[in-house]
Structure 1
């Protein structure tokens, strides 16, 4: 197949205006053994007739693509739970590789339960590794017959009932008992002491467990896992003060994040943050992303890492959202753009301007509050093609401007313009035969049905 015919076909496969008869024709295509273009099974709002074709498609690749779609409804994907291919069931069990953090793609609990009892071990492993499991399902794993499932439940310790915790602490499997002990050790100094003797769990036990003073003093004297120890909630106040002036900068930083410190004491500690982004954030803020008091303490702090952790919450009230939007911290802005549905337009524009081409910039540009009005006047003649591309978003952009931008020197701008339904039809038809534009042209919702059918014909899709 000629390359631009394949590109045009990929575009048509994701075209939101693709009529159902052409969609069904495309889904039945075997793609030379590779299945239909993967955008076809991954479309949003698939009609029932299309879902039925995918579920029965002879090529497992088409079913895998549907199983991992971030756009399909979880209940639709769940219908693959009895698929004959373990690869398809494993893909369903794991779910989308990535998606919008603002959306949920979790499968129903009863479907997850069936996948966890699948006869193929790869399916069970994929499910337990999935980042998309609902909290209710994770809690239900506490009594599952598979020790690996009980370990997953034990890692969600605070969501478990007392009788479930007790059962995991006395579990016949030693690994389950150790993970359960790690959850319970914040309330039990004896369990903490036991875990400190296990190299695999010692650092985490020091970070979260209820400590005997002697154990804390020993680790301070031996200078082992001090940064973890500095986070421990039960660390005696005098040892906190000693670690606050430790020569190790990482230890001082850990002390500065302790939740009990007031702002004066916190900011008196000599620490450096710079561009550091602690991934999933500071643990006590992360655990309280829906707690108004925790969010207020973190968002109003002068400590950059606390503000960055608070910015991960979609539950920020308007005053804290606008406070964080004004702190002029790129990491905070990135987090707001990814996680908060009401991020101000000016923050989204700064993220886009600073990080064009990255995931954070893509999340900002696809955010529902990303600006549209006035972009053509501001950016149509901008020297940077990434900004000229934004002019296409403006509802006031004229067909003449869109056509001009479809000839822009920057390929990303040309592609954006070619995908816009205001593009004059003669230019849209022309773009279908330009290799770097064919995919965008195929996806243009203004493409006439006969042109879509012609794309399928040229690509060899049987009628």
Structure 2
């Protein structure tokens, strides 16, 4: 019954009175569904928060509870939610900055536009985790001050803050101009030298795997440098030397930077780590020569990621389409192709090139219609969801290519209810067709009843409003709870049935 109540809570057809009845019996899960209802009144939102405290946070983020509704002493988490959106009272921040719960002070430290006195309080918090959270989100002047904090974990957080001034970021990377850090989380907890066992099974251990300190706070310093390398505000001059660093994680962080000089890109293109080369492959900083080099990379993921590069040449892209298993996706370079390039791709003798351009959904009618008659099933499959195709064209695709295009045809907005019904009855059957048709509001009741015979499509079909009401009611007792919940959320479920369900509670 619990999953049925969750479904009912999400049902858009519920009357205000039925929502009130659900609020009166709501638990955490039911409340989480009710809190998402767009028709929830302010009075209902307050009643729901009073019933289930945890729902107040979601209601605050959704704008259903305002500052006038919230007492931070009663709902501190909801007060934090409003502060996080910049609409809470400054007095709340002063109150929460001294909250005995460290987790709340930590959440407060991530909120924007805090009063300066609250920032000062948090910057001197006795728990370094609160100070580190502040360092990650604070303003440039505070970040610059915290860059010299004696605790290495605060400095690591500063290194990840994009508002940190470039000079402070450079100092964190090089260590120049900063006093040495005195503590880290490792030496706070363990006698040094200490290396944390990566296989540590202690349930109350807070140290990350491999954390180590011999007095130099080496694992935290490494994490700080990695954060600085990933931070686009860190000057490239301060980090480019890490291109040959023995740490793969630092080289990997560098590979995604958009301001890399060519010599650094060239060095990373021959890196021993496929992950480094894969991140580099998508980097807009690489030139055509490196693109062509990476197109022959031995790693499939590198080639696949390269296909998403916005400036890749079309001939290289066609080559990758044959070897990299790109999948059914519209690539950035294809999306930005000029009309002449679209025509070139559509008339290419290479089906891989035609398949790429067939992913576009704004093709001129003459090109769309030409590709609809393509002899290659992969090209037709890529095109099959294109709007504007006629019923006759869709049926011709099915007749020529059968099961290879059925699922994509089922997603086409022009597919008629009659065609959808034929697709679910096709032999041999294609399971993905059932799931696609089950999502369609245009699907007939008879098509949806067929979809119910497929295990994967059954929960989707159970929530389709076109399903006959008696069938929806019957699905409430289905052995699969997901099917029952979807049926309970179906707006075509009769209100009399809903009222009967609630009367049993």
TM-score interval, smaller chain: 0.5 to 0.7
Structure with greater Cα Rg: 2
The corresponding residue for 1:210 is 260
Name the residue aligned to 2:63. Answer: 75
Hey, what does 2:250 align to over in structure 1? 201
Q: 2:107 aligns to what?
A: 123
Structure 2 counterpart of 1:110, from 61, 81, 86: 86
- 1:273 match: 324
Quick one: distance in 2 between partners of 1:445 and 1:222? 56
Out of 442, 446, 449, the residue aligned to residue 405 of structure 1 is: 449
**Equivalent position SS for 1:183:** coil
Specify whether residues 12 and 303 from structure 1 end up closer, same or farther in structure 2 by C-alpha distance, changes over 3 A only: same
- Decide which of 362, 373, 377 is 2:417's aligned counterpart: 373
Q: Could you give the per-residue CA deviations for residues 176-204 of structure 1, whole angstroms, max 9, x where no partner exists?
A: 9963785267xx76334344365443234
Distance 1:265 1:38, change over 3 A: closer
Aligned pairs, number: 382
Q: 2:168 aligns with which of 160, 167, 170?
A: 170
1:27 paired residue number: 23
Paired position in structure 1 for 2:237? 190
| Residues 148-297 of structure 1 mapped to structure 2, 5 A cutoff | 154=162, 167-171=165-169, 175=224, 179=228, 182-183=231-232, 190-196=237-243, 199=247, 200-206=249-255, 208-211=258-261, 213=263, 262-264=313-315, 272-275=323-326, 285=332, 292=336
In 1: Cα distance, 2:463 partner to 2:227 partner: 57
What is the aligned partner in structure 2 of residue 454 from structure 1?
500
Q: Does 1:423 align with 2:459?
A: no
Residue 104 (structure 1) aligns with:
none
Q: Deviations over 1:389-432 (max 9, x none)?
A: 8489576847xx59x9399655655983686477366x666665
- Taking CA–CA contacts closer than 8 Å with sequence separation of 6 or more, which of the two structures ends up with the larger relative contact order? 1
Work out which of the residue numbers 36, 39, 59 in structure 1 matches 2:52.
Answer: 59
Tell whether the 8 Å contact from 2:465 to 2:490 is kept in structure 1 after alignment: yes
TM-score (norm 1): 0.53
What does the per-residue CA deviation read over 1:47-101, in whole Å, with 9 as the maximum and x for residues that have no partner? Answer: 33322323x3242343456568xxxxx43377698765566678x69xxxxxxxx
Q: Confirm or deny that 1:47 pairs with 2:44.
A: no
SS at match of 1:76: coil
Q: Which residue of 1 is the match for residue 153 of structure 2?
A: none
Return the offset for 1:125: 8.5
CA contact (8 A) 1:181 1:191 kept: no
Please give the alpha-carbon distance, in whole angstroms, between the structure 1 residues aligned to 2:321 and 2:8.
58
Q: Rate the CA distance shift 1:298–1:448 in 2: closer, same or farther, 3 A.
A: same
Distance 1:456 1:67 in 2: 27
What is the CA-CA distance between 1:274 and the residue it aligns to? 1.9
Give the C-alpha shift of residue 273 in structure 1: 0.1
- 1-structure distance, mates of 2:303, 2:460: 50
- Structure 2 CA distance, aligned partners of 1:152 and 1:344? 49
Q: Please, which runs of 5 or more residues in structure 1 have no aligned partner?
A: 69-73, 94-106, 129-139, 155-163
Aligned counterparts of 2:39 and 2:491: Cα–Cα separation in 1: 15
Counterpart Cα distance in 1 of 2:43 and 2:463: 30
**1:284-325 residue CA offsets vs partner (Å, 9 max, x unmatched):** x49x98xx56999799878979x98997x9xx75559969x9
Aligned to 2:12: 16
* CA distance in 2: counterparts of 1:127 and 1:344, whole angstroms: 50
Rounded Cα–Cα distance in structure 1 between residues aligned with 2:308 and 2:159: 29
In 2: Cα distance, 1:239 partner to 1:405 partner: 54
Residue 20 of structure 1: how far off its partner (Å): 0.4
Assess if the C-alpha contact under 8 Å between 1:418 and 1:444 holds in 2.
yes
Gaps of 5+ in 2: 98-103, 113-136, 147-155, 174-223
Structure 2 counterpart of 1:101: none
TM-superposed deviation, 1:210? 3.4
SS at match of 1:28: helix
Secondary structure at the aligned position of 2:14 is classed as coil
CA 1:294–1:81: 2 relative to 1, 3 Å: farther
Deviations 1:241-266 (A, max 9, x none): 76666767777777777666543466
How has the CA–CA distance of structure 1 residues 255 and 67 changed in structure 2, closer, same or farther, with 3 Å as cutoff?
A: same
Q: What's the CA shift for 1:23?
A: 0.4
**Cα offsets for 1:78-133 (capped at 9, x unmatched):** 7698765566678x69xxxxxxxxxxxxx9953599999974255369889xxxxx
CA RMSD of aligned residues (A): 6.4
- Provide closer, same or farther for how the CA distance between residues 333 and 241 of structure 1 changes in structure 2, counting only shifts above 3 A: closer
- How many angstroms does 1:44 deviate by? 3.0
SS of the residue corresponding to residue 17 of structure 2 reads helix
Task: State the distance in 2 between where 1:317 and 1:113 align.
Answer: 49
